Amino acid sequence: MGLVGDGSPPNGGGSPEKSLDWMALKYFMDFHPNTPGLYFAGDDIAEEWNTLPHPDAVAFRGTYMPFILTSGDHASLGELVSVPVFQNTGGPIGPAEMIAFGGCPIINNFDAMTSGGPSCVVNSSYGSDGGPNGAVLIQATPNPQSTTARVVLSGFAFNNIRDDVPDPTLDRVAHLDGVLDWLDGTAIPIGVDPVAFANRLDDAYPNPFNPSTTIRYSIKDRGQVTLNIYNAAGQLVRTLVNDVQTPRAEGFDVAWDGTNNAGQSVSSGVYFYKLTAKGFVQTKKMVLLK
């Protein structure tokens, strides 16, 4: 198969499989500062990944896409070779139904998966039984760079997507559009009820602090978000956030190191941090002690 190499011998052979692809992919997800994302799609990619021994392959799966392989052959679960794939209610990675076109039962056997942790099943099942065997999984994970790394794992190859009914937009186009929206953060996360999102500004921790503190918040709707620091005289000291953001299940964490917008350390005293989001404004107090 050799879909993503980890340096181990392919198919029982004697030479290493490609290079350490998983090492490069994990480094990308760990250290990219601006919402890195990956879309894995292949008839046997999850099945192969499930057997790879390299620590980076194991660590990537455990961190960014924990899954449980139900079967490497969807047909062994009693499904059709060319099988309908149904979407979870309300999920933006669409369309609502498409066909994973198997064609040949020997060549095209699709991976069936369930979540192995915080990952969410997007396309809920092969076939019409509404069972637990996921066809597509996603996960959003905070990385060490304080941004969000996103992964889409599909149990079937993208080129196998076929339309279930005649429609002006091809199902594979609609599906890819949904995948890209998810990866760039413009789609509401799958598997989380949008009603559960709320505007919230938490207490800074630690508080009092020296030399730095962390401010955690969440937002209900996608829109412009600002997080500013003011001194006791009401003067702007530092802008920590000024960006369009999309709600996410894990919320947001922003650190302030006690410097102003010019990078200079500020003096001890009382400071106020103000969150402004769509339909929401809240201010709280913190104390810097030196």
| CA–CA dist 46, 40 (Å, integer) | 9
| CA–CA dist 274, 148 (Å, integer) | 23
Q: 161-162 and 200-201 as β-strands: parallel, antiparallel, unpaired?
A: unpaired
Q: List C-alpha distances in Å: 13 to 2, 8, 52, 254.
A: 11, 9, 14, 48
| CA–CA dist 71, 78 (Å, integer) | 11
Nearest to 221 by CA among 241, 242, 194, 184: 194
> Tell me: the pLDDT tens digits for 56-72?
889 999 999 999 998 88
Q: Can you give the C-alpha Rg of the chain in angstroms?
A: 23
Consecutive H or E run containing 179: helix 171-183
Other beta carbons within 10 angstroms of residue 114's beta carbon come to 15
Distance between alpha carbon 17 and the CA centroid of its chain, in Å? 28
Going along the chain from its start, the domains and CATH numbers come out as: 10-191 (no CATH), 197-288 (2.60.40.4070)
0.85 surpassed by pTM: no
Backbone angles phi, psi at 64, to 5 degrees: -105, -15
Q: Which two tokens stand for residue 235?
A: 């003067």
| CA–CA dist 62, 78 (Å, integer) | 29
> Tell me: the pLDDT tens digits for 268-285?
999 999 999 988 999 999
Backbone angles phi, psi at 38, to 5 degrees: -140, 140
Distance between alpha carbon 181 and the CA centroid of its chain, in Å? 11
Q: List C-alpha distances in Å: 135 to 82, 109, 110, 183, 269.
A: 13, 12, 8, 18, 55
pLDDT tens string for the chain (290 positions)?
456 777 766 554 444 556 778 889 999 999 998 889 999 998 888 988 888 888 888 999 999 999 999 888 888 888 888 888 876 644 556 666 788 888 765 667 889 888 887 777 776 567 655 556 778 888 888 888 888 899 999 988 898 988 888 777 788 888 888 888 888 876 654 444 444 578 899 999 999 999 999 999 988 877 899 999 999 999 999 999 998 887 776 788 999 999 999 999 999 999 999 999 988 999 999 999 98
